[in-house]
C-alpha cells in the first residue's frame, strides 16, 4: 500500500501506512508486551493475541478516513499511531496516541512517527488542536512530544487508575501553526 509520508534523514525508512492483514504476526510480536501495555489505556489488548490483531485490522479497514496507522520500518509494522477525533464543541481537537515495539525503542523512531502523524493530522483534518495524555512518569513519551513542539498544558491530578494505582496524567498540546 502507498505510504502517506516517508523519511530519509535517519538511516531507517519510517512510513505511516494503513494496517493490513499481513501485519497480524508482526502486530502480535511487537504489541504483546506488558511494558507497552503499562503505558496505554486498558482497551489495548493484553495479552495481544492473533485474534485481537485481526480484530484491530478488520475494524480499521472499515474506517474512512483512516485514523490509525501502522508505523512501518522496511515493510514490518513495528508499532502504531492513531488519532481519536473529538466531537460536539470539541470537534476541532483530536488526541494522538502511539506505541512502538520495545526492540525499536531509543532510536528516534517514535519521534519521527509522531512528526509524520502531526503533519498528516493537520493536513487531512480540520483540527486546530492536537493533544496527548501521558501517564505521569512516562518521560520517554513526554520527550517525544516535546521534540515535536508539543507543550505541557496541564497535569491532571489522580486522573488515571492503571494496574490498580491512581496516578496523574500530563496533557501535552500542539496547536495548528
Ligand X SMILES: CC(C)(COP(=O)(O)OP(=O)(O)OC[C@H]1O[C@@H](n2cnc3c(N)ncnc32)[C@H](O)[C@@H]1OP(=O)(O)O)[C@@H](O)C(=O)NCCC(=O)NCCS
Eight-class DSSP state of 71? E
Closest to ligand X by CB, 6 vs 21, is 6
Q: Are 18 and 74 in contact (CB under 8 A)?
A: no
Q: Is 108 in the site for ligand X (CB under 6 A)?
A: yes
127: which residues sit within 8 A by CB, 6+ positions away? 92, 93, 94, 121, 176
Stretch 74-103 residues interacting with ligand X (CB under 6 A): 98-100
Q: Is 138 in the site for ligand X (CB under 6 A)?
A: yes
Q: Is residue 110 classed exposed, middle or buried when 0-12, 13-18 and 19+ CB atoms within 10 A define those classes? A: buried
Beta carbon of residue 44, minimum distance to ligand X (angstroms, whole number): 9
Beta carbon of residue 64, minimum distance to ligand X (angstroms, whole number): 25
Of the candidate residues 70, 110, 118, 130, the single one contacting ligand X (CB under 6 A): 110
Of the candidate residues 24, 27, 36, 116, the single one contacting ligand X (CB under 6 A): 36
Amino acid at each position: 500500500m502507498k505510504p502517506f509520508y516517508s523519511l530519509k534523514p535517519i538511516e531507517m525508512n519510517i512510513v505511516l501506512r494503513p494496517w493490513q492483514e499481513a501485519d497480524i504476526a508482526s502486530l502480535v510480536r511487537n504489541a504483546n508486551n506488558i511494558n507497552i501495555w503499562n503505558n496505554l489505556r486498558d482497551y489495548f489488548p493484553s495479552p495481544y493475541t492473533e485474534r485481537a490483531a485481526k480484530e484491530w485490522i478488520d475494524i480499521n479497514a472499515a474506517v474512512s478516513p483512516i485514523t490509525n496507522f501502522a508505523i512501518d520500518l522496511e515493510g514490518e509494522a513495528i508499532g502504531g499511531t492513531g488519532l481519536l477525533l473529538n466531537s460536539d464543541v470539541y470537534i476541532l481537537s483530536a488526541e494522538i496516541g502511539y506505541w512502538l515495539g520495545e526492540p525499536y525503542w531509543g532510536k528516534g523512531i517514535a519521534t519521527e512517527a509522531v512528526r509524520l502523524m502531526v503533519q498528516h493530522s493537520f493536513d487531512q483534518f480540520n483540527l486546530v488542536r492536537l493533544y496527548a495524555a501521558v501517564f505521569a512518569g512516562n518521560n520517554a513519551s513526554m520527550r517525544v512530544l516535546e521534540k515535536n513542539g508539543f507543550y505541557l498544558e496541564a497535569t491532571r491530578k489522580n486522573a488515571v487508575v492503571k494496574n490498580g494505582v491512581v496516578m496523574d496524567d500530563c496533557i501535552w498540546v500542539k496547536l495548528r501553526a
